[in-house]
Structure 1
Amino acid sequence: MKGLSVFNKLVFFINTLVALALLLAYLLPYIPPVTFPFLAVLSLGLPILFLLNFIFVIYWLLGLKRQVFLSLLIILIGFNHLLSLYKIRSLEAEVDPQKAISLMTFNVRQFNVYDWLPQPNLKARIGEFIAQEDPDILLFQEYNHQEAPDLSQYAYSYLPVLKGKASQAIYSKYPIINRASADFKNTGNNALYADLVIKEDTIRVFNIHLESLKINPSVKELQKENREQLITRVGRSFRKQQQQTEQILALVNQSHYPSIVAGDLNNSAFSYVYRRLSENFNDAFKMAGEGFGKTFVFDFIPLRIDVILTSPAFKIIDFKNYSEQLSDHYPIKSTFYLDNSVANK
């Protein structure tokens, strides 16, 4: 601290707090939310903490001050976290088109039935978008049975109506031989799964919709919220998400089939629930994505809260983020194939 002006001493003090906050955020994926639910909120702000520390690095670097090493070291320690935030495009793998399987997941917010987005004919536009992209497997969260567009191109579907639950849907071009609901308790959220027969193989697909954080994505609205009440509510949601995640993993472990877990986490890729779900899976975005991978409409944070996770038996060929704003979520799609040499081990 010697040789620093009073102003720079203040800047370094703030820098230290921000650096420690980022370091703590690195640890949160390993701390169950039931332990310190209020701390889990930090994981949502990790992209901002990365940016602030980067700004401090530039500030001290321009001043040729050794204080640059504090934030630089913290950023380097968590370099792997950057792979969850931003991905440089990798080369697409070549595969026999007959083996390729594509899956899209999309939280459609009930097809805009309550006019959240001031856009006309949104249901028809979603239908046109699906027809154009033509995924083999299609997962919807916040599905509305009455408002759904024509999806007759899919010969098979699982569209349960569950009392007290926000609806979800699984559409497939492959036969469905088994289906069920995870039936999360004391919540309107849920997860579905279906076993699909693809030629001589069977796979299990999970469509998940974890507990909502009930946060208005507008910064202006967030500023109006009581901070203590906000943190308490989000912490409560994180605890429920942890319970729901363990329930999903139990169902995954019960299955003898290669599995895909996809849908809306309602949490970031820096969270405990993401780490638990992805531990034995490949994240399609990390394998073949590009850019920030943003999937949720937020004022300034590139949140990636929708995922496609595949067991190692699947080889990822491609991953695509879409920029069409047809909901408060952006759809994502991945293409992959089943490697029987791995699946049969």
Structure 2
Amino acid sequence: MKNLGLIDKIVFIFNSLAATALLLSYLLAFIPPKSFPLLSVLSLGVPVLILINLVFMVYWIIRFKRQFLLSLIILLVGYNYATNLYQFTGDTQTSEEELSIMSYNVRLYNSYGWTDEKNIPEKITKFVKEKNPDILLTQEHTVDEIGINALYPYKFVHKKGRNSEFGMAIFSKYPIIGQSSIDFPHNGNNNSIYTDVVVRKDTLRIFNVHFQSLNIKPEIDELRKADSKKLLGRIGQGFSLQQEQAEMMMKKVNETPYKTIIAGDFNNTAFSYVYAMVNKEDRFTDAFLHSGEGFGQTFKLNYFPLRIDFIWVDNKIQINDYKRFKNEFSDHYPILTKIKI
């Protein structure tokens, strides 16, 4: 640093802090949130830290300074994290016999009027009918919603608790021969359900998951008004609950005798502990990483393209395509993958 001017020295100090924070955040995917709930919050900032380090690297390159190596090395160490953030091209193909699977958090079909847009249930039903997925997984599903229900001959619609107004659902064009709910032991409607679906001569187990919400409002003004200590504490507690829920689900996944697909609203990013837990044994492929493009944003956050909805496909199954549909009927965007059967 002795060859740097005062301003460059100050810039390099901030660069070092950003690089250290990014390196630490890489490790958080392997540290149980229950151990360090508040520290795990840093994983939400990985996308921002990656972009900040890219900016620092470009700054030093323009200045012809070897300090660019700091951010470059940190980014190379976390190369897989960068690919989780953005995909330049997707690997797509077609097969004569394909199965399409869609996951969609429908936000109660606007039952509480979160948007002024009219006829949301009808618009969601029309959208699903147009895309025509063979299997549809919905989270925050209003159990008496008849529009979607009428599109599929086979279904498993489950609400957690007698007084619940909503739950989760799996709809299928193919026969469902088994179904169950894991029922997370926490207050609220977050849960995981699964069905065994017979597709031609094969049986697939389909998990629909909705992990604990972190209760982060997408509006930047709401974040500014929030008490930072309470917000961080709530997020940390949410991460701890997500860990427990993921452990329960993965126990059932690991007992499954069939090829398996896991999809739904994780309420967390691809840099989180629960994301890493799903693929701890390299059994699954994130369909976005295989066939997606761009940031793959699935949640309407005003200040960053957040991807918190996922479709994990058993490695024994070929992924043909992945798409994200940017409509305005919920605070989540629906995602769809096509697989070869």
Aligned to 1:291: 294
Count of aligned pairs:
336
Asked if residue 264 in structure 1 is aligned to residue 289 in structure 2, the reply is no
Aligned to 1:80: 80
Residues 110-164 of structure 1, C-alpha deviations (whole Å, 9 max, x = no match):
0011111221111111111000000000000001123452442310000123316
- Answer whether contact 2:90 2:289 (CA < 8 A) is retained: no
Task: Describe how 1:56-205 pairs up with structure 2 within 5 A.
Answer: 56-96=56-96, 99-163=97-161, 166-188=166-188, 189-205=190-206
Specify every segment of 5 or more residues in structure 2 that has no aligned partner in the other structure, as ranges.
none
Aligned to 2:340: 337
Rounded to whole Å, the distance in 2 between the matches of 1:63 and 1:148 is 62
Instruction: Please say which of residues 139-148 and 297-306 is displaced more in the overlay.
Output: 139-148
Asked if residue 235 in structure 1 is aligned to residue 236 in structure 2, the reply is yes
Question: Which of 320, 325, 337 is residue 322 of structure 1 equivalent to?
Answer: 325
Rounded to whole Å, the distance in 2 between the matches of 1:253 and 1:130 is 31
Residues 249-304 of structure 1, C-alpha deviations (whole Å, 9 max, x = no match):
11111110111000000000110100111332111111111111110000121111
Instruction: Please say which of residues 1-10 and 123-132 is displaced more in the overlay.
Output: 1-10
SS at match of 2:192: strand
- Answer whether contact 1:110 1:147 (CA < 8 A) is retained: no
Give the % identical residues: 43
Rounded to whole Å, the distance in 2 between the matches of 1:260 and 1:327 is 24
- Answer whether contact 2:33 2:240 (CA < 8 A) is retained: yes
Specify every segment of 5 or more residues in structure 1 that has no aligned partner in the other structure, as ranges.
339-345
Which amino acid is 2:76 matched to? L
Instruction: Please say which of residues 83-92 and 23-32 is displaced more in the overlay.
Output: 83-92
Shift of 1:22: 0.6
Which amino acid is 2:320 matched to? I
Q: TM-score, normalised by structure 1?
A: 0.94
Shift of 1:91: 4.0
Which amino acid is 1:332 matched to? I
Instruction: Please say which of residues 305-314 and 132-141 is displaced more in the overlay.
Output: 305-314
Aligned to 2:210: 209
Rounded to whole Å, the distance in 2 between the matches of 1:133 and 1:167 is 23
Which amino acid is 1:144 matched to? T
Q: TM-score, normalised by structure 2?
A: 0.95
Shift of 1:18: 0.7
- Answer whether contact 2:160 2:191 (CA < 8 A) is retained: no
Aligned to 1:8: 8
